[in-house]
Structure 1
Amino acid sequence: MSVFVSLSLGAIFLISITTVLIAFTPLREFIPGYSSSQLKRDATVLALKSDSLSIALKKNEAYIKSIQKVLNGDLEYAKFNKDSILSSADEAAEPIDLSASEKEKELRERVSKEEYTQRSSSKGKSLNSKK
C-alpha cells in the first residue's frame, strides 16, 4: 500500500512540476497553438504601420493625380491646393449601408420558420420517446 501511495504522489508531483514549467516559462512556445508575446506585439505593430502606410499612399496618389491634371492643363493652377486635395482624399470613403435587403429579410424569416418547425418536431419526438 505504501508503494502505491508513494508512486501516486510521485506521479502527481511530476505532473504538477511539468505543468508549472510549461505554463510559466518560454517552453510553452514549443506547443502548437501558442505563440510568443513578442511575436504578437510585432504583428500588431506591423498591422498598424501597414494601415498608416496605405492611408499615406492613397493621399500621395491623389496628390500626384492632381499634379498630373495641372500639368496636362485640365485644372487651373488657382484651384490647385495640396490641403484641399488631401482633404478630398480623406472624404473619399463612402458610408456603407448595412441594412438588410428584402431578400435577406425573407431568407431570415424562412430560416427562423424552419428552425421553429425543427425545434417543435424534435420536442414532440423527445416527448414521445419518454412515454
Structure 2
Amino acid sequence: MENTQGKKAFIKKIRHKYRLAIFNEQSYEEVFRVRLSRLNVFTVVSFSIVIIIGLVTLLIAYTGLKEYIPGYPSAKQRVLMVRNASRVDSLILEIHKRDQFVKSIQTVIRGEVPESIEQEDSSPTNADAIESAKLDNTQRDIEFRQEVEAEEKFNLAVLDDKSKDLKLNQQYFFPPIKGIVVNKYNESTNHFGVDIVSKPGETVSAILDGTVIFTGWTVETGYVMIIQHGSDLISSYKHNSKLLKEMGSFVKAGEAIANTGNSGELTTGPHLHFELWYKSAALNPEEYILFE
C-alpha cells in the first residue's frame, strides 16, 4: 500500500506543472512564458541528446572530420595501405613464379626432368586422370621413353665435332664485349666459359636475337643474365654491374643488355664471364666468337 502511494506521489511530482517566464528588466513586461513539468524537461533533454549524438555520428562518418580523430588513418593512408597490401600479394606471387622458374632451370642443367607445375594440383580428378594415363602406357612405350631419355640426357661435356649442328658454323655471333680473354674455357676445372677483361661499365651486347629467360643476383656470380636463342642455343653473362633488360624481354643481336662489373664472390676484378651452351652442352666461345 505504501509503495503504491509512493509511486503515485512520484508520478504526480514529475508531472507537476511549473511556469517559466521571462520579463523585460526595465518595464517588467512579460516577454515569454511556458509551462513545463519535470517529465517534459527530461523527455526534451533526452531526445535532444539522442539527436545530437546521431548528427555527430553521421557528420564524422560521412565527412572528412573523421581524419582528425586520433588513431584514425587518413584517406591517403588507407589508399596506401590497400595499395601496399596488393603489391605485397603481387610480390609474393612473382617470387613464387621466379623460384619455380629458377628451380626448373637448375633441374634442366643437372640433366633431370623438371616437375610440372600442374602436378601441384592434388584434386581427386587430376589424380585419377594421371593414374589412368599411367595405366594406359604399355611396356613398349616405357622402354622407348627410357631410350630417348638416355640419348638426350643432359651433361656438362663439350659436344663432339660430329654432333655439332652445322647451323652453328653458319651463324654470325655478335661479340658480347671487346676485350682480352684472361681465363679460357677449361672443362677439367669446370670453367665452362671465358673471362673477358675490359673497361669497367663497358656495354655488354647480345650475341644473337633471343629472349631473356633469367635475370637475377647470385652470391657467387653477382648480376646474371641468361638469353635463349634459336636452335637450342643459350648464352650466359655473369659478374655484371647492372642489367639493362628484364626477364621475358626480346633482344636483338648487338643490343645492349648489361654493363660489365665486379659483382659476386667469384671475381677478382671488373670483367665479363661469358658462357655458350648448345643443347645443354657447354661450348668453347672462342671457337665461334672473336673477342679482341
TM-score interval (norm. to shorter)? 0.3 to 0.5
Q: TM-score, normalised by structure 2?
A: 0.22
User: Structure 1 or 2: larger helix share?
Assistant: 1
User: Structure 1 or 2: larger strand share?
Assistant: 2
